[in-house]
Structure 1
Amino acid sequence: MKIAKKDKYSVGQLSKASGVRVRTLHFYDQRNLLKAKRDINGYRFYSDYDAALLQQIIIYRQMDMTLDDIANIINADNFDLLSALHKQHELLIQRRENTNDMIKRIEVSIKMAKGEENLDAILKGLPQVKVDEWKSQIKQDENGDAVFKFYGKLPEEDIPNIKDEADEWTRHYMEVTHLPVDESEVQRLIKEAYIIMNRMFYKTMDDFSGVDYDFLKRIIIDGRQESVVVDIYETYQKGLATHYFDAMDFFAENSLKQNEEELMKLQ
């Protein structure tokens, strides 16, 4: 706590300014850690130097140093308060940076744990043994962290609607997998899937402007190669994965490529 400069402080004034209890100040006095002075009337008081020294003691205590160690430092013949404060300032800045790094790592861990929870909710209804197997494979994949962080960014209140929409779309799509991928009903559902995909990215990516042709082509290529993604589709219906990616590829080449600006805004 920063203490405002003042010519002298009574015990009570220094206690209030520093947040250190009067009883603690008396204890520091007894331990020759922070000795109070006396005015001509015999009243205890502290100087600005004492207030600055108390700040140094507070810092040392926050660093879990013992009172004996603190006393040895500040009572040493070569003790320089200004140098000590500069050093502690540097140490505290470094501690703040380390703390900020820890906070960021914890926030990432929270998002990953939240992502796993959201993924569980979205896949609810599929065999749990399969869900556990997929999550295990994702965790072992070099890009697994990114997958969980992606799902972790989805707003919790949106998860029920996301699941309902995905389940409804999948039920309808399973009814058209016997049709060629260029059939109008198939492409209508694929356009819906593209819009759902677009909406998901808008929710989870900063400065996102829409899934363009090149982005969608990468998604299709990666999806075909991702065993977990393929297995999820195949768990719903045999052959669904191949049909879906072929249909999405047709959509990319025959709809999105010519209408990027219009379609990328849909969500």
Structure 2
Amino acid sequence: MAEKNQYSVGQLSKLSGVSVRTLHLYDEKNLLKAKRGSNGYRFYNSYDAALLQQILIYRQMDMRLDKISAIINSENFDLLSALQTQRQLLIQRREDTNKMIERIEATMKMAKGEENLDVILKGLPQAKVDEWKAQLKQGENGEEFYEAYGKVSSDEIHDIKQDADEWTENYMKVTHLSVSDENVQALAKQAYIMINNMHFKTVDDFKGATYKFLKIVNQEGKKDKVVVDIYETYQKGMAKHYFDAMDYFAENSLKDNEAEYIHLK
């Protein structure tokens, strides 16, 4: 049985994930020489285990065995220094890999966000949809917009689409009414709930659409050519009527009743 800090060939194989056959090859190539105990069995010590890790790192770098042998058998070879250097390289590689993973995940969310946007805009003229998507991508917050939409599941986005289509159909029937009309304001409340719900799904740590938040959303919406064009594509004059109705809702319903509204989903 191996003593403390000593490993049989089988133990080192299990510990390192390197096959026994490979360990025998490293022994033959003078890369990692096994020692012989008084019983004649081969064994390795802690230094050998550490040296094996260094060899494995070199192998991961696609270095040939003869070159590895020349390095580790050099009179100037310092295992501790080599391990410290490789440790720093691996840490940097891990950081670079993590950044790559983050970029890939962000790109995946953007792709998913575009798919979700296609669902929301389904039924509108494709030429318009392509134009809007191109403008969004070129916009200052385009990437953030698509990433946010990418957080919504496929099932959720279809439910959102169904609710949005039903709301739009109903709203187009009331645009001839004053924005203060109770029917218009009932739909404004529905729109607020949909806005609130969407932000809960897409914005981390979202606390609810406050009066100030809704006013900002309305102001930005009025200036956003894509948003305005979408409403106008449904019905001419709908954009102004909608934003005026939402401003009226903010001033007359939400302003002094935030606690009642901001948790509605």
Please report the TM-score for the alignment, with normalisation by the length of structure 2: 0.94
Residue 23 of structure 1 aligns with an amino acid whose one-letter code is: R
Q: Aligned equivalents of 1:68 and 1:250: distance in 2?
A: 79
Instruction: Verify the 8 A CA contact 1:6 1:48 in the aligned structure 2.
Output: no
**Per-residue Cα deviation, 1:40-86 (whole angstroms, up to 9, x for no partner):** 45433222211111011112222333323322321121111112222
Residue 217 of structure 1 aligns with an amino acid whose one-letter code is: K
Q: Aligned equivalents of 2:4 and 2:60: distance in 1?
A: 24
CA drift at 1:6: 4.0
**Per-residue Cα deviation, 1:210-260 (whole angstroms, up to 9, x for no partner):** 111111111111111111111111111111111111111111122111212
Q: Aligned equivalents of 2:45 and 2:179: distance in 1?
A: 85
Which residue does the alignment assign to 2:80? 82
Which residue does the alignment assign to 2:52? 54
From 148, 151, 159, the equivalent of 1:150 is: 148
SS in 1 for 2:43: strand
Kindly indicate whether residue 251 of structure 2 is the aligned counterpart of residue 253 of structure 1.
yes
Q: Aligned equivalents of 2:93 and 2:180: distance in 1?
A: 60
Residue 116 of structure 2 aligns with an amino acid whose one-letter code is: N
SS in 2 for 1:142: coil
Which residue does the alignment assign to 1:242? 240
Instruction: Verify the 8 A CA contact 1:187 1:251 in the aligned structure 2.
Output: yes
From 208, 230, 243, the equivalent of 1:232 is: 230
Q: Which runs of 5+ in 1 are unaligned?
A: none
From 149, 158, 170, the equivalent of 1:172 is: 170
Q: Superposition pairs for residues 93-108 of structure 1, below 5 Å?
A: 93-108=91-106
Residue 82 of structure 1 aligns with an amino acid whose one-letter code is: L
**Per-residue Cα deviation, 1:140-199 (whole angstroms, up to 9, x for no partner):** 112100110111111222111101000000000000011111111101100110011101
Q: Aligned equivalents of 2:220 and 2:89: distance in 1?
A: 46
CA drift at 1:105: 1.4
CA drift at 1:208: 1.4
Q: Aligned equivalents of 2:157 and 2:171: distance in 1?
A: 21
Please report the TM-score for the alignment, with normalisation by the length of structure 1: 0.93
SS in 2 for 1:194: helix
Identical pairs, percent: 67
Q: Aligned equivalents of 1:80 and 1:161: distance in 2?
A: 64
Q: Aligned equivalents of 2:103 and 2:178: distance in 1?
A: 47
Kindly indicate whether residue 32 of structure 2 is the aligned counterpart of residue 34 of structure 1.
yes
Q: Aligned equivalents of 1:184 and 1:129: distance in 2?
A: 36
Instruction: Verify the 8 A CA contact 1:9 1:45 in the aligned structure 2.
Output: yes
Q: Which runs of 5+ in 2 are unaligned?
A: none
SS in 2 for 1:218: helix
Which residue does the alignment assign to 2:214? 216
Residue 210 of structure 1 aligns with an amino acid whose one-letter code is: G
CA drift at 1:120: 0.6
Which residue does the alignment assign to 1:264? 262
**Per-residue Cα deviation, 1:3-33 (whole angstroms, up to 9, x for no partner):** xx94332322221221101121122122221
Q: Aligned equivalents of 1:167 and 1:39: distance in 2?
A: 80
Which residue does the alignment assign to 2:201? 203
Instruction: Verify the 8 A CA contact 1:181 1:250 in the aligned structure 2.
Output: yes
* More displaced stretch, 232-241 vs 84-93: 84-93
Which residue does the alignment assign to 1:161? 159
RMSD (CA atoms): 1.6
CA gap of 1:75–1:189, structure 2 versus 1, over 3 A, is same
Q: Aligned equivalents of 1:66 and 1:230: distance in 2?
A: 63
From 63, 66, 79, the equivalent of 1:65 is: 63
Q: Aligned equivalents of 1:77 and 1:188: distance in 2?
A: 84
Count of equivalent residues: 263
Q: Aligned equivalents of 1:47 and 1:151: distance in 2?
A: 56
SS in 1 for 2:175: coil
SS in 1 for 2:44: strand
